Amino acid sequence: GAVVSQHPSRVICKSGTSVKIECRSLDFQATTMFWYRQFPKQSLMLMATSNEGSKATYEQGVEKDKFLINHASLTLSTLTVTSAHPEDSSFYICSARDPGVGGNTEAFFGQGTRLTVV
Amino acid sequence: SQKIEQNSEALNIQEGKTATLTCNYTNYSPAYLQWYRQDPGRGPVFLLLIRENEKEKRKERLKVTFDTTLKQSLFHITASQPADSATYLCALDTDKLIFGTGTRLQVFP
């Protein structure tokens, strides 16, 4: 089946620095990718929709200047957490659907990135 | 406001029994609903998708129902096994997936 790969799986950074997370679709082209955040024992909260070649669409309450999304190619979306603070520590997960399959279909998720800001 | 609630945060059952998980939603009218399994520290994995005009969908030991009048989906795992222990998430499919609160299922031998 289709695979979405996310990197890194874990990252520890100092407060005030920026961290980039990559999400790649390995065997299909994804014009749209989704970024989620998950706090411990909570569900996935959609942060933004990443659109290839255009601006990302952010969910209400998500700061677009803090969470920069770039979808420069059909197989790569990146999420940059800028000026990270300890409260940004969370599990970040990306997902994509294979547009080659007609209709609404399953989403494929990356392995997730555990971000710890110290 | 829009809500997606899964009835219990945790569900403990004995091996061999049927686990039933509930997903209720308000203020949405999804054409599709999906169920995912998530293991600790991993991304969700797709299990089943059901359309609004389908009452029931089955896949091996899994069964999903979708009642658009009640705004509810039920997810059943029959003959449960310890390996079924995980968090199960329902997701409303409105071009983007909006996830429910999740239910942690623990199957005891």
One digit per residue, the tens of pLDDT, for chain A of length 118 reads: 669 999 999 999 999 999 999 999 998 898 899 999 999 888 899 999 998 888 999 999 999 999 999 998 999 999 999 999 999 999 999 999 887 766 678 899 999 999 999 9
Nearest beta carbon to residue A44 from set B46, B95, B99: B99
Q: Render pLDDT for B42-73 as a digit per residue (tens, 0 to 9).
A: 999 999 999 999 989 999 999 999 999 999 99
- For residue B31, the chain A residues in CB contact (below 8 A) are 104
What is the average pLDDT score of chain B? 93
pLDDT tens across the length of chain B (109 residues): 678 999 778 999 999 999 999 999 988 888 899 999 999 999 999 999 999 999 899 999 999 999 999 999 999 999 999 999 999 999 999 878 999 989 999 999 9
Quote the pLDDT of residue A102: 64
Quote the pLDDT of residue A2: 67
B98/A43 Cβ within 8 A: no
Give the whole-angstrom CA distance, residue B82 versus residue A25: 32
Which of B56, B100, B107 shows the shortest CA–CA distance to B85?
Answer: B107
What is the 3-state secondary structure of chain B?
A: CCEEEECCCEEEEECCCCEEEEEEEECCCCCEEEEEEECCCCCCEEEEEEECCCCEEEECCEEEEEECCCCEEEEEECCCCHHHCEEEEEEEECCCEEECCCEEEEEEC
B93/A104 Cβ within 8 A: yes
- For residue A95, the chain B residues in CB contact (below 8 A) are 43-44, 97
Instruction: Quickly count: other Cβ atoms within 10 Å of residue A25's Cβ.
Output: 26
CA dihedral A71, B39, B9, A108 (to 10 degrees): 30
